Chain A
């Protein structure tokens, strides 16, 4: 398939790099200020050239970013940063592609979490299809598993969906260190951003759970971030982890989506149970109606990991 990749962060760059390996061609790449478009908007770009220019000059090419939207792609890869509320400009990008009857594959959580019904309405009037496996749990096949089982037969989905928060809690428990200390360490390692609030306040995990809730209900009722009950990990002191450990338990930032509620917060879980994944690892746990519980764990973030989920979606569109 011919792909246009919007967003040249870790995920977008990895999609550009790996697309050829999956038998796809990238005909357009855009970041916030520039674009590279193949000849006639339809010829494949050379991935190395684009990626080297991005690294050396901070731009992907000489074209206008908007031109990427009008290129001759089969599927638009929306990998721009997640925005809340109106989810712009990501939502506009999806709208343009769907109005042109092209498929859309999202790594950007905004449109699926904040405007699920709007997005599905656009899809209903388009020959294109919307997919968004990469928005939840990185490389973990969460959404396609729910779809395969049948959303109606899945009662609840929960898990550890933010690697940064999980890294911090894991280190605090293992080393007996305080929150601020471990956070600074995580920032040094590149596990946490300079502004970690999106991760440690639970927003990122909540967006993923909102998306899962929308998949469970099919958008009726529709969930957005405002419907989620969210608490982060800033208020978890070392003393709490110590008391948990004494009882063979630990604390994890657990997000849970059902057809009625979305909740994210620090929870006590058995230290050796499936939800107590360590480090930046994620886990998605599905409660199914007929097949008991399913646990899928793996890498929940990272360029190649998330690009793998994006390209798996592209494969499903073929």
Chain B
């Protein structure tokens, strides 16, 4: 049997990508949203979601927009600076709060189906971070094995994360043993 802990995938420069949230206030003018997103893409940010609260104006008569993105920590400041340079009103910018931890088991040909790709896809699709990984392959790595993933994510994203894990697993013919989430009081 083999068992090991693997750190989440590191980027070439040694940093890790992280998920960040930027809150902007946009003028209610055509093209304003597109202009806001351009500096993010130009500086290597990967857009995860955009929450455009149209109809909900700030006291200054502007439209609040929440952008979730993923990038290297050192890119993030560049992106915020670029947004400000482009005339955007950045009201808040920071690392995503990961308030929830999920443990999930993956069963099947976990290793043969490109484990690092599996982890990467879970992280990028879900705006989540795989913080721990344990493997058990008593029959050898080419047979059925199990992986235990600890995934950190925002509390309101757990259902989305599990749906994404299921999607990736189905594609790779893996079985998911999900956590029984405690939504009520124990």
Tell me which of B105, B145, B147, B175 has the highest count of chain A C-beta atoms within 10 A of its own C-beta. B105
Does A39 make an interface contact (CB < 8 A)? no
| Size class of the A contact interface (CB-based, 8 Å) | 20 to 34
Residue of A nearest to B148 (CB): A243
Chain B residue contacts of A231, Cβ below 8 A: 175
Measured in the bound complex, the distance between the Cα atoms of B146 and A273 in whole Å is 23
Q: Is the CB of A237 within 8 A of B177?
A: no
Stretch at the interface among B56-64, B76-84, B122-130, B131-139: B131-139
Known: A238-B138, A240-B177, A243-B148. A287 touches B103 (CB 8 A): no
Does A181 make an interface contact (CB < 8 A)? no
A-B pair count, CB < 8 Å, reads 76
Does B99 make an interface contact (CB < 8 A)? no
Does A242 make an interface contact (CB < 8 A)? yes
Does B144 make an interface contact (CB < 8 A)? yes
Stretch at the interface among B10-18, B40-48, B178-186: B178-186
Measured in the bound complex, the distance between the Cα atoms of B84 and A36 in whole Å is 88
Q: Is the CB of A239 within 8 A of B178?
A: no
Tally of B interface residues using CB under 8 Å = 24
Q: Mark A195-206, 1 if CB is under 8 A from B, else 0.
A: 000000000000
Give the shortest distance, in Å, between A274 (CB) and chain B (any CB).
Answer: 8
Q: Is the CB of B136 within 8 A of A267?
A: no
Q: Is the CB of B179 within 8 A of A268?
A: yes
Known: A243-B136, A243-B146, A247-B148. A236 touches B107 (CB 8 A): yes
| B residues in contact (CB < 8 Å) with A | 1, 103-105, 107-108, 134, 136-138, 144-148, 175, 177-180, 183-186
Instruction: Name 19 A/B residue pairs within 8 A (Cβ), A-sorted.
Output: A156-B183, A231-B175, A237-B146, A239-B136, A239-B145, A242-B146, A243-B105, A246-B148, A247-B103, A251-B177, A254-B180, A267-B177, A267-B178, A268-B105, A268-B179, A269-B179, A287-B183, A292-B184, A293-B186
| A residues in contact (CB < 8 Å) with B | 155-156, 158, 231, 235-240, 242-244, 246-247, 249, 251-252, 254, 265-269, 273-275, 287, 292-293
A-B pairs with the 9 shortest C-beta distances?
A239-B136, A239-B146, A243-B148, A267-B180, A240-B146, A268-B179, A287-B184, A235-B175, A269-B180
